[in-house]
Structure 1
Amino acid sequence: MRLPKPNIRLPRLPQLFKKRREGGDPDDPLNEAESGGPPPDDLERGLDDEPAPRKKGRWKRVASAALTTLLAVAVIGGAGGLVGWLMVNAEHTESLREIQRPQLTVDILDEGEEPEPNSSAAAPRSKAEADGAAADGEGQGPADKESGGDGSPAKDGEGEGPSAVADGAPADGVTLTPVDPALMEVRDEGRLPIIAVDGRQPWSTYARPFNVDDTRPWVAVLVTNLGLSQRETDAAIQLLPGAVTLSFSPYAEDLEAWLEAARSAGHEVFIDLPLEPLDFPRDDPGPSTLLTSLSTADNLNRLEWVLGRAPGYVGVTTWMGSQFTTVEDAMMPVLEGLKERGLMIVDSRGSSRSIATELASSIQLPRAFNNRFLDSTPSISSIDRALADLETVAQEQRVAIGIARSLPVSIDRIQRWAGTLERKGLILAPVSAIADRQRLR
């Protein structure tokens, strides 16, 4: 006997799961509340090959994870690059920011000294008086002097140039060797320094005399970028002790007269050598800057232009050069050119990565290097702290060199500081005396 087939219809499992997810019948045995959890994922996938919404959810999670990873890599890489850039350029950037920050300099009067009358109080009151004053050259500010008073460039001998050349012996009685024609070569580029037939070299001949047997620690100061401002250059020449070394810009007008005025006051002199900085051309040392992108011949031509500007100097100071002084292929021919002409080099170390001093030592070129920038922050307290640091270096290493710019506040603080060295057991030395005496790092 055949039994009849049971007439039972079972619901499709995918629909049942869908109903359960949508909050279906609570009596359903497959409901989460009764069963203690959702049905196994493998059962659902096996019965209906993963629904589209679940696929989209998975791809969203994958995309989100990938995007998060990329963002993390970008952030970490950017942070690493920033840290590396700061390690290399932070010191240079900080110095540039301080230089570019507007400064207000106020002259400090000595006790009993009367201030100069206000310039506006003495101004002519009528057009006729103003015309007369202009004809006499009165009433012109620094900008008028530099432009000739009418907006045009100053002509030779007008506005800029030494206001007075020291007469007779310097205040401290130390005189320098006069400029010697035997140490000059006349070329189209000017009068270039050379080693004399008898072996005398410009760097040692024009150096300021100094007692090298003095056993006290030696501390030297080099003031740079002189000759571009008559007021600051006059102040440096006339107010600073003769043992302070002065370095002049090759772009200064009447450079030969400036050098003669400084030497007559007892200062040995250097020339600023403009070299490529890291941020060139945004920061440009001038039209004759030596560049890593130029050929060796072009750079040597620019070097000869700088060296031929005027005679009587001891050597050159690297001016900027935070890029150029780190490239051996560019720097070495320049150093060899200086050695052939019997000069000295002072590495200002605009970059902590400069190799100029090490390269100079390798070819026995007389060299010295900067231990402290004295006015990176041009304020009284900051300069005084830097000078105190320089004293510490001199006491620890027996010799030290500090470099300052030709700022009024720098000149004033150095002048006052120099008068304290005797009682501190230190001696102010010219930069040439420290040649080859500093320990390499």
Structure 2
Amino acid sequence: MIGGAGGLVGWLLVNAEHTESLREIQRPQLTVDILNEGETPEPNSSALPQKAETADHGAAPADGTDGHGQPAEGHGATAEAADGTPAKEGQGDGPARPAAPADGVTLTPIDPALMEVRDDLRLPIVAVDGRQPWSTYARPFNVDDTRPWVAVMVTNLGLNQRETDAAIQLLPGAVSLSFSPYAEDLDTWLEAARAAGHEVFMDLPLEPLDFPRDDPGPSTLLTTLSTADNLNRLEWVLGQSPGFVGVSTWMGSQFTTVEDAMMPVLEGLKERGVMLVDSRGSSRSIATELASSIQLPRAFSNRFLDATPSISSVDRALADLETVAQEQRVALGIARSLPVSIDRIQRWTGTLERKGVVLAPVSALADRQRLR
């Protein structure tokens, strides 16, 4: 009992600053728009479910960034349960029933020919006829569209029921969703997201610079582990549920800068026919360049949309993302599963058509972004 109490006190001391910043993010917000005469009002942000309070690893500055304008890597990581697995927040009664896609776009059903069953894992594989999971499970998109393309990915889903339901139900199907491999009811979450027209990805937990203070969980790939151990952890992540397009790097500001650690992982992804999305948690990440060198389909983040999780900041980041798309023809923004992010993305996507910008799924950007 004394040891347990001491551990609790130590955890609170280490995480106090981060917990306070998370509470600041979670304070309810009310958005009031001034409408033109005759304009129909949209539902305000109070209609979006608010995030349940979570306990996260690591401390972060009060604005939710790492001090360099990037999201703090520990922000959104989950506390671990007694068995060493991350605790799930706000799961309630489980995922909502799958919704029919509002735009009528349906995804390819799960194909047993693209799956290897090993023990309790269901791993993606390239089919005998050459079909790959990343292109088979991608959301259909007209690649001949000459307008600027902008893609958005929301990450770390499945750990909070209300936020995950909101992302699936409120965001357009062209918004790609990335789920935590630690989520409960992961099969049902992915089924619901795909039924609503969203292509899905898996968060790939990678070592951050300040590990273990920021800890992405028990299956994190680490530069201190052997290649075999990291590939075993990669297979665990990939084998949690079928039907995803690829993986999105989760944290990784250390791991994605070390070629000897990163290259075997990328080769493993290519062998299994899945795509890489480099969230670029570090400006020194070499993951995208290494992926290109082995012809692994890849995309990378042009903007973190909620480095500072406020209405005005997210709106500015979305406007910046549009500018990148106008200048470079394609752009990708990545956001966390925060209520303010989901709300502002929902509103913003409704403005793109009249601006001459098309919302594209992340898979459509594979190998189309300019390297640095």
Per the shorter chain, which TM-score range? 0.7 to 0.9
* Shift in alpha-carbon separation, 1:378–1:113, aligned structure 2, 3 A: closer
Q: Does 1:163 align with 2:96?
A: yes
Per the TM alignment, residue 99 of structure 1 is displaced from its structure 2 partner at its CA by: 6.2
Q: Is the 8 A contact 1:326 1:354 kept in 2?
A: yes
Q: Does 1:413 align with 2:335?
A: no
TM-score normalized with structure 2 length: 0.79
Write the deviation string for residues 5-51 of structure 1: whole angstroms up to 9, x where unpaired. xxxxxxxxxxxxxxxxxxxxxxxxxxxxxxxxxxxxxxxxxxxxxxx
Write the deviation string for residues 116-149 of structure 1: whole angstroms up to 9, x where unpaired. 9xxxxxxxxxxxxxxxxxxxxxxxx878xx9xxx
- Match of 1:223, SS state, is strand
Q: Is the 8 A contact 1:171 1:265 kept in 2?
A: yes
Q: CA RMSD in A?
A: 2.6
Write the deviation string for residues 395-419 of structure 1: whole angstroms up to 9, x where unpaired. 0000000000000000000000000
- Give the counterpart of 1:270 among 170, 194, 201: 201
* Shift in alpha-carbon separation, 1:256–1:385, aligned structure 2, 3 A: same
Letter of the 1:269 counterpart: V
- Match of 2:264, SS state, is helix
Q: Does 1:430 align with 2:348?
A: no
Query: What's the counterpart of residue 76 of structure 2?
Result: none
Q: Does 1:331 align with 2:253?
A: no
Letter of the 2:254 counterpart: Q
Higher relative contact order (CA closer than 8 Å, sequence separation 6+): 2
Higher gyration radius (CA)? 1
- Give the counterpart of 2:141 among 199, 210, 218: 210
Query: What's the counterpart of residue 46 of structure 1?
Result: none
Letter of the 2:222 counterpart: L
- Match of 2:24, SS state, is coil
Query: What's the counterpart of residue 298 of structure 1?
Result: 229
- Give the counterpart of 2:129 among 198, 203, 213: 198
Question: Identity over the aligned pairs, expressed in percent?
Answer: 83
- Give the counterpart of 1:369 among 300, 320, 325: 300
Give runs of ≥4 in structure 1 deviating > 4 Å: 96-101, 107-116
* Shift in alpha-carbon separation, 1:108–1:163, aligned structure 2, 3 A: farther
Per the TM alignment, residue 165 of structure 1 is displaced from its structure 2 partner at its CA by: 1.7
Letter of the 1:366 counterpart: P
Q: Does 1:244 align with 2:183?
A: no
Letter of the 1:422 counterpart: E
Q: Is the 8 A contact 1:262 1:269 kept in 2?
A: yes
CA distance in 2, matches of 1:399, 1:286: 33
Unaligned runs of 5+ in 2: 1-17, 33-40, 47-51, 55-78, 80-85
- Give the counterpart of 1:358 among 266, 289, 292: 289
* Shift in alpha-carbon separation, 1:101–1:397, aligned structure 2, 3 A: farther
CA distance in 2, matches of 1:115, 1:385: 17
Q: Does 1:228 align with 2:159?
A: yes
* Shift in alpha-carbon separation, 1:414–1:186, aligned structure 2, 3 A: same
TM-score normalized with structure 1 length: 0.67
Write the deviation string for residues 231-264 of structure 1: whole angstroms up to 9, x where unpaired. 0000000000000000000000010110000000
Per the TM alignment, residue 104 of structure 1 is displaced from its structure 2 partner at its CA by: 3.3
Q: Is the 8 A contact 2:176 2:198 kept in 1?
A: yes
Q: Is the 8 A contact 2:45 2:340 kept in 1?
A: no
CA distance in 2, matches of 1:115, 1:357: 35
Q: Is the 8 A contact 1:290 1:299 kept in 2?
A: yes
Per the TM alignment, residue 163 of structure 1 is displaced from its structure 2 partner at its CA by: 2.2
Letter of the 1:401 counterpart: L
Per the TM alignment, residue 103 of structure 1 is displaced from its structure 2 partner at its CA by: 1.9
CA distance in 2, matches of 1:386, 1:426: 16
* Shift in alpha-carbon separation, 1:113–1:323, aligned structure 2, 3 A: closer
Query: What's the counterpart of residue 313 of structure 2?
Result: 382
Query: What's the counterpart of residue 310 of structure 1?
Result: 241
CA distance in 1, matches of 2:87, 2:152: 31
Letter of the 2:94 counterpart: G
Query: What's the counterpart of residue 103 of structure 1?
Result: 25
- Match of 2:107, SS state, is coil
* Shift in alpha-carbon separation, 1:189–1:335, aligned structure 2, 3 A: farther
Letter of the 2:275 counterpart: M
Q: Whose helix fraction is larger, Structure 1's or Structure 2's?
A: 1
Query: What's the counterpart of residue 41 of structure 1?
Result: none
Per the TM alignment, residue 336 of structure 1 is displaced from its structure 2 partner at its CA by: 0.2
Q: Is the 8 A contact 1:98 1:376 kept in 2?
A: no
Q: Does 1:439 align with 2:370?
A: yes
CA distance in 2, matches of 1:163, 1:288: 27
Q: Is the 8 A contact 2:45 2:343 kept in 1?
A: no
CA distance in 2, matches of 1:183, 1:112: 42
- Match of 2:364, SS state, is helix
* Shift in alpha-carbon separation, 1:337–1:171, aligned structure 2, 3 A: same
1:253-264 to structure 2, matched below 5 A, reads: 253-264=184-195
- Give the counterpart of 2:280 among 345, 349, 353: 349
1:122-201 to structure 2, matched below 5 A, reads: 159=92, 161-166=94-99, 169-201=100-132
* Shift in alpha-carbon separation, 1:440–1:142, aligned structure 2, 3 A: closer
1:87-102 to structure 2, matched below 5 A, reads: 100=22, 102=24
